[in-house]
Structure 1
Amino acid sequence: MTAPAARTVLVTGFEPFGGDSVNPSGDVARALDGETIEGATVVGRVLPVSFAASAAQLEQLVALHSPALIVSLGLADGRETITPERVAINYADARIPDNDGEQPRDASLDIDGPAARFTGLPVKRIVRALGDAGHPAAVSLTAGSYVCNALAYHLGAVAERHQIAAGFIHVPNWSADTLTPAIRLAIATALTHPDDVDDVGGSIH
């Protein structure tokens, strides 16, 4: 009898941008690379902060590794909690140029795509698990309009096309040592309990 193929989790983070020398999202992806979480092997990779190249590299990684789950990470400097994103919008309005020097304004990410794409992660369950473990977390209803949102939107299309679970999590500007256990728990939660819970997770502003 042939043994079942091992599951793979693809975790992506980003390189530094905006003049910063570090990006904790990329540091976490590197830290988790090669780990085994709930029987799944983690492939951690760092993507360029580029509207075009990040999506292209994600496609290449999915084709190469055939992951069962994708968790993409990005830095939300100024936030004080870990924020799984519920939705990404078909819109780019870059406050600063990306690392390729591109700065789209009031642009569609995909002129033929839907206005928004929703996460495939159990975001409320992840927030509950993180909170129970002492990691400040909250569901986010906006991924911004920069490269993080663009990748999250593209991620939704990739997930639909390949029929895999995928979603985006913004992380605060904390150290990788602080963030890595939390993201490890988020991945374990998504692998073991893919259905979400009926918690309150909305916002009035």
Structure 2
Amino acid sequence: MATILLTGFAPFSGKKTNPSWEAIKDLPDRYAGTHRVVKVELPVTWEGAGEMLERVAQECKADAILSFGLSGAVSNLLFETQAFNYGGNYADEDGLKWDRPYIPDPKAPSRVTPSITYTQAQNWIGSTATLDQSTNAGAFICESVLYRLGAKFPKIPHLFVHFPADSGNSEFSSYQGKMPLSTMRAAVVLLVQGVFQNLLGVGYTPWGDRSILPTPTLTVMRPDPPRNFWPSATTDTIMFSTFARFSSVPPVAGLQIPTSETPVSLPEDVLTGRCYSASGEPLHASTTVMARTWRTYYGSDGLLQIKLNKVGDYTFPLRFELYGVTTGGYRFVQRFHLHYDRDATGVIPPTQLGVYRTSVELLV
């Protein structure tokens, strides 16, 4: 069993909330059934934050620690690359100032760096949020936490990321930098998954409440004319194309598609299709989903080519469902309605197979 400790901060400076805690407090406590995600709200005090951090990390036997704080001066996520062993002359919530080393031990290092690198964190977050890096952690409680992580737990994977203010909370209206809380939470989800999968040896698994990520929006243009048709005297195949734009959806796990005009078949565990009759009866049709002209599946545009091979005799209309999985563990389905368009006389022209997207939704 592996354990990741997440830390955020309590409100300070008269505020009622702190996004560094709001973004993590409601995340699930279990990962893949047996692994733990422990969350703790640190006080904004020089003595209390460090004491609680060390105590909880030891009690839960943390295998990795991801810490977060608030900076109203940034507009993006900010990865702190170093911390020094000396506090700034700033008063905490108890009114105490700390213009001396965080750890007054002559053997304590003067400077530490997080064991999780900026590049690792950036790769895990992907296009979900912009992650900048900083060499100045602020000489306040946040830097003291990062310093203690490096000095006390150097062999445990750890990092510290500053969040902007919550753009949806009016109490932060005077802050310079803001970001939706949902984006911060989505970034935390991806960091947790990245650590579990890449540093702690836990396989990929869906994790996180589905409300963490915004609902994807898909724009589907009129498809290319189908190359073959059902029913047909010469073929049992339909192939149609649809242009889809996925926004606010994290990368599909492990899927890298080179730029090519040649369609590339997608793994069934990434994208798969199912075909049904108008009454909802499952149809035995083998499905191949291919993509082309996609560099990656990273929240970008792409052309999907869907190939259906029928088994048996079917009558139109048909329903086709395209299922996918995002890195955040969210399954989604895009539904199509396939039918023949009749002309004014009621005749079905052989080239008028209509393909329309009817809905898209996230699944539990």
TM range (shorter): 0.7 to 0.9
Q: CA deviation at 1:78?
A: 1.5
Q: How much is the aligned-residue C-alpha RMSD, in angstroms?
A: 1.9
Q: Deviations over 1:7-65 (max 9, x none)?
A: 11000000011122210001123122514279732111101001111111111101210
For 1:115, the equivalent position in structure 2 comes to 110
Match of 1:9, SS state, is strand
Aligned to 2:164: 172
Q: Which runs of 5+ in 1 are unaligned?
A: 1-5, 195-205
**Residues 1:102 and 2:96 aligned together:** yes
Residues 61-116 of structure 1: per-residue CA shift (max 9 Å, x gap): 01210011100111111201111211111111144x111211223x2222322111
Aligned to 2:277: none
Paired residues, number: 184
User: Corresponding residue for 1:154?
Assistant: 148
For residues 108-147 of structure 1, what are the structure 2 equivalents within 5 Å? 108-111=101-104, 112=106, 113-130=108-125, 132-147=126-141
State the one-letter code of the partner of 2:101. S
CA distance in 2, matches of 1:129, 1:89: 26
The AA in structure 1 aligned to 2:87 is A
Aligned to 2:4: 9
What is the distance in 2 between the residues matched to 1:67 and 1:137? Answer: 25
Residue 186 (1) aligns with residue 191 (2): yes
Q: Which residue of 1 aligns with 2:51?
A: 56
> Greater helix share, 1 or 2?
1
Counting aligned pairs with the same residue, the percent is 25
The structure whose Rg is larger is 2
Runs of 4+ deviating beyond 4 Å: none
Tell me the SS of whatever aligns to 1:187. helix
Stretches of structure 2 that go unaligned for 5 or more consecutive residues are 167-179, 200-364
Partner of 2:76: 81
Q: Which amino acid aligns with 2:138?
A: G
Contact 2:128 2:187 (8 Å CA) reproduced: no
Read off the aligned partner of 1:166 and give its amino acid letter.
Answer: H
Asked whether the 8 Å contact 2:24–2:188 carries over to 1, the reply is no
1:181 CA drift (Å): 0.9
Contact 2:44 2:141 in 1 (8 A): yes
Alpha carbons of structure 1 residues 39 and 88: separation in structure 2 relative to 1, 3 Å? farther
* Whole-Å separation in 1 of the counterparts to 2:32 and 2:136: 28
Structure scoring higher RCO (CA < 8 A, sep ≥ 6) equals: 1
| Change over 3 Å in CA distance of 1:173–1:50 after alignment to 2 | same
